[in-house]
Structure 1
Amino acid sequence: MASCTPMEIHSMGSESKKNSFNNEEKKPVVTESIIDTKITRVTSEENVDDPEELADLGYKQEFRRQLSLFGIFSIAFSVLGLLPSVASTLSFSLSYVGTPGLLWAWLIAIFFLICIALSMAEICSALPTSGGLYYAAAVFAPEGWGPLASWITGWSNYIGNVIGQPSVNSSAASMILGAVSINRPSYSPSNYQVFLLSVGIQCMHCFLASLPTKYISKINRVNTFINILFLFIAAFAIIGYAAKDDKFTHGTYPWREIKNTTNWPNGFAVLLSFNGAIWTMSGYDAPFHLSEECAKASVNAPKAIVLTAVIGGIVGWLMQVLVSYTIVDVHALMTGSGNMWTNYLSQVMPKRAAVAILSLTIFSTLMMGQSSLIASSRIAYSYARDGILPFSGWIGKVNYQTKTPVNAVLCNGIISFCILFLLFAGSETSSAVFSVGAVAAFSAFTIPIFIRVFCMKDSEFHRGPWNLGKYSRPIGALACAFVALMIPVLCFPNDKNPSPKTMNWTCLVYGGPIFLTLLWYAISARKWFKGPKASETFKGESNDSPPSIPEFFDGTEK
């Protein structure tokens, strides 16, 4: 079957490159037009051949494809972790402008986040590899810029994911120890207790993320069911106790009464409140990175991305509405100390019920951390496979027994252990490190979308079976505009004249590692990194290292 390759995407429209393929030296050149290829891919959704598609992208099939649409969606939904995400981001949504930050501000943010997810899903359908956005940036970029675009995208994605996972574990540990304080107000957990419990949770997650794919799929199916069940239990418990004690807010002030606690104008404070939605909706890229373990990946993986974003966004917003209308004392939550979710539950229900709901939140957080490690380890594997990471030869191996990247799991686990030591440096330091996740993820999400929208003609983009059609460019433009606005906002402090404790160190914590990776690229990597590489099976009889994408893909038929 004639196959179209990412190199054709990269070079379509350049007649000189098309004519450079030599029929005598290589197999016959693909002669199908862009329109013909697009129609074939769109109409052959039921005949997707995963190994063949992956071979077209330059990789051999190494994982077992044991994830269905629901299986890959369940992992992404577990990464999203609605109940723990809503609980942990309540302070972002509420503390800046009050309940409007939970209601219409959250709703506006979700609209744009779904635009990002739709654009990402379209790219995933065209290039269903575990390298994901990093691979897409390489093949979409203008000639000569592919390696740099891929390098920045890859490191941003990896930094965001590898830091996000231990932050989830430390949150779980803090909630477990903080639950004690509901019945023992005098108890305050120490840093070493949070650290040791976080390390124990990390070890458990490393074991679970190293299991064979079929077990990971089963575990996350159960996790998804439990996650949704716990979310509904929490919601009905809140409704029941609020109705029993008549604690529902009367009137319409939750929608309109802005309580600006920052030194910025109301409009900018509302933008700051978008942080809650952004942090909550941070796991919908997981299906992209798991696409090589998914059956019919060019169809099911993008569908999972969209389902995660849409269902997560709607259900998450409904939880925000429920919280907004059941808060007893908004001012006490906005200005009080301690965990805001714990304080909110204590306002709405008796202590025993609050502990029970908090326990469900903790369990969901543990499941969220396990799914996060699965996604981040697949990113590490794909990057090591292409030689980006130090010790790539070891990290990029698939365990012959489990057929999963166990070494990549161990690598990310070791990095997480090191990051958890920052808990001893104080809340300002650890919060600054853990806060880079949103900025790093946004940067990685948007670079390939931006290139696709503003640097490529529609005729140069080889659509997959799942695509946005004529809405592709406007939706992508909305996504890019939102990210361009929000990345600076995510780096702003609450105060105009912040002290070291109130300063937002995100720009430094994210900018520092990215600057070092760019310096590495300028000094060394630009000489040897040419983009994602083809698998060993595509080297033929040569003993050289696998060629990069621009060198390997020549538009030949399989």
Structure 2
Amino acid sequence: MEHSSHWPKHPKHIAFIFHPHTLLKLLENEKKGLIDLLDMTRDYSVMPDSQFGAPDLHKTKEFFTQAEIEKMASEDEIRLAKLGYKQGLKRQFSALETFGLVLTNSSVIIGVIPFFGTAMFLGGPVAFTWGWLITGVFTTCIGLALAEICSTYPTAGGLYYYSAALAGKKYGPVASWFTAWFNALGQVAGCSGSVYAAAQFFNIFLLNVFPSTVSFVLLSDGSALNANATVLTFAIMMLLIGLINTFGGVALKISSYMSTFIHIIGGFFIIIMVLATTKTKQSSSFVFTNFEDSTGWTSTMGAAPFFVAMLGILPSAWSQIGYDSSAHLSEETHSAHINGPKAIMYTIGASIALGWGLILSLTFCIGDFNYQSATPWGQMAAQIFVDSAGVAGGSILILIVALAGFLCGIGTVAANSRMLYAFARDGGLPFSNYLVVLDKKTGMPLRLVWVSTFVSFLLSTPALFSTVVLSAIGGVSIIGFTVSYAIPIFIRITIGADTFVQSEFNLGSYSKIIGWIGVWWTAFMFVIFQFPNNTLGAFPVTVQNFNYVPLVVGALILFAGGWWVVDARRWFRGPHKEAGLEDFGTASEEKA
């Protein structure tokens, strides 16, 4: 087959086309000048260094054809080509739609309100009120560090791709391997916890609106929610979430707009409604200084109150994760190198502000502390809603929380399926060739949608015999997310510091200090959430109050680590590049 007169005749010329400097010039002219740039390569003899290094062209299996290059009509496609991938997923989300999905995934409403009762006994109002702001500072540092990397690497692989690209050939495979598995754990646990909480609130809503459902929602003695009924509602919700994700982009867009409305308008409505209907409010000293501990750490184990307050960071940290879904939606977002980082930071900012408003309003509006904290519903905030706004008004607020959790599940499954798609695309999952197939009609990774849905369901089934399932899932999700955040950040500020090329969103000279703050905060949370934290009494440890965070995290480390040592290290090379740049590495590695 003859080459066009415009087609470069030397491999170096082709490599030059995909060099970042060349592509930036392409972006300025879009289609105009594409052929001229191809002509320019005839006289270009030396390829400059890049953050990936000079590719081994002798190992190249596939290059873009001239026709494909000419069809690259968008800046996003060219940037994705620079990272080594062809456009597979459909670009369909605007900045607002992506922000809505990311806000859904973070879901401050479902983070703060279901965990409010837990927070009141893990340090009390003082720990939750101030702990929220302290956590927000560290979360912002992690978000800034990730947003900077996201701007440079706008691909669906997200954190997994970041680790591979930053660590180079030597460490990239193992770094991306563990990043992917921890992120997957965080995603499925986050979805599981959010939807399980939504199921609890929906059943409480049924109980208030339809009193005849009492025998279904509560145990026969009326002392607590019926775990069997909650798990059944949870299963139905997970099925609906899987179906909505199956319907494709239109359904996700609708849920995105609904989520934005529920989380912002609904959140402010809850704040205003509770404050307006509560006649007698708590004092400022109660809200900002009162300490509580029902775990037994101070009374039984002699621990300092400060230690219990550290355990009380759990509800705050649970509410401030999930913003990495912006990265996983990069290949479906227009101008992802700009809108992706924006979605991360807007979500964190909105979550911190709205979350603190929810915490203050609920804490000021606590009535009879002992009565409300001991409610048979198992959700102190729901009891506050009804006591303040009445059955009708309180039921509306309860339903808003249930909807927020349900919408959070939709967004989380969407994001997780995209991350798993990128991982399977690169051979990282069992049966990858089967799982990576995209639906021809919707362009969605439907098989991975249902894998994510099913695993999320399985994680909450211990609720049938455990009283701490929600806090345990929260701890698992926090560790899964934050460890997967910390790995690429750590690599970025250490071995990748000299090769990382900053893009439009960057931190300048503050990158390292902000990155180190995020890494140390992650290490702290990894340790603190392993301890028993049952607010009904953590001692003695039993099957009912056992914190199974160490068990789940340990199982993941053994599984992923064992598979790596025994087999995966021999064949897994991290993200495969479709555009002729198969292996990651730095220029210095290639020259050496």
TM-score under structure 1 normalisation?
Answer: 0.85
- Does the alignment pair 1:30 with 2:47? yes
Deviations 1:377-403 (A, max 9, x none): 111111111111111112112212111
Q: Distance in 2 between matches of 1:276 and 1:70?
A: 27
Q: Does structure 1 retain, via aligned residues, the 8 Å contact 2:190–2:473?
A: no
- Does the alignment pair 1:102 with 2:128? yes
Of residues 508-517 and 322-331 in structure 1, the stretch that sits farther from structure 2 once superposed is 322-331
Q: Cα–Cα, structure 1 residues 268 and 70, in superposed 2: closer, same or farther, change >3 Å?
A: same
- Which AA in structure 2 matches 1:549? F
Q: Does structure 2 retain, via aligned residues, the 8 Å contact 1:205–1:369?
A: yes
- Which AA in structure 2 matches 1:220? S
Q: Which residue of the partner structure matches residue 21 of structure 1?
A: none
Deviations 1:18-54 (A, max 9, x none): xxxxxx99985432788xxxxxxxxxxxx98111111
- Which AA in structure 2 matches 1:480? V
- Which AA in structure 2 matches 1:155? W
Q: Which residue of the partner structure matches residue 242 of structure 2?
A: 206
Q: Distance in 2 between matches of 1:525 and 1:313?
A: 40
Q: Which residue of the partner structure matches residue 263 of structure 2?
A: 227
Q: Distance in 1 between matches of 2:588 and 2:387?
A: 61
Question: Structure 1 residue runs of 4+, over 6 Å off?
Answer: 24-27, 551-555
Q: Which residue of the partner structure matches residue 328 of structure 2?
A: 289
- The CA deviation at 1:430 is 7.2
Q: Which residue of the partner structure matches residue 292 of structure 2?
A: 259
- Does the alignment pair 1:361 with 2:387? no
- The CA deviation at 1:283 is 1.8
Q: Which residue of the partner structure matches residue 61 of structure 1?
A: 87
| SS of match in other structure, 2:122 | coil
Deviations 1:298-348 (A, max 9, x none): 111011001001111111112111122111233444555521222222332
- Does the alignment pair 1:122 with 2:140? no
Q: Distance in 2 between matches of 1:477 and 1:554?
A: 25
Q: Cα–Cα, structure 1 residues 496 and 195, in superposed 2: closer, same or farther, change >3 Å?
A: closer
The 5 A counterparts of 1:425-436 are: 425-428=465-468, 432=472, 435-436=475-476
Of residues 24-33 and 274-283 in structure 1, the stretch that sits farther from structure 2 once superposed is 24-33
Q: Distance in 2 between matches of 1:366 and 1:496?
A: 30
Instruction: Compute the RMSD of aligned alpha carbons.
Output: 2.9
Q: Which residue of the partner structure matches residue 549 of structure 1?
A: 584
- Does the alignment pair 1:341 with 2:358? no
Q: Does structure 2 retain, via aligned residues, the 8 Å contact 1:99–1:258?
A: yes
Larger Rg: 2
The 5 A counterparts of 1:413-452 are: 413-428=453-468, 432=472, 435-452=475-492
- The CA deviation at 1:417 is 4.1
Q: Does structure 1 retain, via aligned residues, the 8 Å contact 2:110–2:405?
A: yes
Q: Distance in 1 between matches of 2:46 and 2:426?
A: 26
Q: Which residue of the partner structure matches residue 313 of structure 1?
A: 352
Q: Cα–Cα, structure 1 residues 473 and 551, in superposed 2: closer, same or farther, change >3 Å?
A: closer
- The CA deviation at 1:179 is 2.9
- Which AA in structure 2 matches 1:442? T
Q: Distance in 2 between matches of 1:195 and 1:25?
A: 65
Q: Distance in 1 between matches of 2:248 and 2:469?
A: 36
Q: Distance in 1 between matches of 2:460 and 2:539?
A: 30
Match of 2:315 among 276, 279, 282: 276
| SS of match in other structure, 1:178 | helix
Q: Cα–Cα, structure 1 residues 533 and 360, in superposed 2: closer, same or farther, change >3 Å?
A: same
Q: Cα–Cα, structure 1 residues 359 and 400, in superposed 2: closer, same or farther, change >3 Å?
A: same
Of residues 361-370 and 117-126 in structure 1, the stretch that sits farther from structure 2 once superposed is 361-370
Of residues 371-380 and 211-220 in structure 1, the stretch that sits farther from structure 2 once superposed is 211-220
Match of 1:173 among 199, 218, 221: 199
| SS of match in other structure, 1:169 | helix
Q: Does structure 1 retain, via aligned residues, the 8 Å contact 2:50–2:586?
A: no
- Does the alignment pair 1:146 with 2:146? no
Deviations 1:395-419 (A, max 9, x none): 1122121112112112222333444
Q: Cα–Cα, structure 1 residues 445 and 289, in superposed 2: closer, same or farther, change >3 Å?
A: same
Q: Cα–Cα, structure 1 residues 431 and 486, in superposed 2: closer, same or farther, change >3 Å?
A: closer
Q: Distance in 2 between matches of 1:49 and 1:511?
A: 42
Q: Which residue of the partner structure matches residue 39 of structure 1?
A: none
Q: Distance in 1 between matches of 2:307 and 2:434?
A: 47
Q: Does structure 2 retain, via aligned residues, the 8 Å contact 1:48–1:296?
A: no
- The CA deviation at 1:251 is 4.1
Q: Distance in 1 between matches of 2:179 and 2:470?
A: 24
Q: Which residue of the partner structure matches residue 500 of structure 2?
A: 461
Q: Distance in 2 between matches of 1:332 and 1:156?
A: 39
Match of 1:503 among 520, 538, 546: 546
Q: Cα–Cα, structure 1 residues 403 and 478, in superposed 2: closer, same or farther, change >3 Å?
A: same
Q: Does structure 1 retain, via aligned residues, the 8 Å contact 2:190–2:477?
A: yes
- The CA deviation at 1:3 is 4.8
Q: Which residue of the partner structure matches residue 20 of structure 1?
A: none
Q: Cα–Cα, structure 1 residues 30 and 228, in superposed 2: closer, same or farther, change >3 Å?
A: same
Q: Distance in 2 between matches of 1:455 and 1:550?
A: 12
Q: Distance in 2 between matches of 1:226 and 1:28?
A: 57
Q: Does structure 2 retain, via aligned residues, the 8 Å contact 1:327–1:347?
A: no
Q: Cα–Cα, structure 1 residues 199 and 75, in superposed 2: closer, same or farther, change >3 Å?
A: same
TM-score under structure 2 normalisation?
Answer: 0.80
- The CA deviation at 1:428 is 4.6
Q: Distance in 2 between matches of 1:208 and 1:28?
A: 52
Q: Distance in 1 between matches of 2:284 and 2:202?
A: 36
Gaps of at least 5 residues in structure 1 are: 7-23, 35-46, 540-545
User: Size of the alignment, in residue pairs?
Assistant: 514
Q: Which residue of the partner structure matches residue 42 of structure 1?
A: none
Deviations 1:188-217 (A, max 9, x none): 354443233222211211121123335422
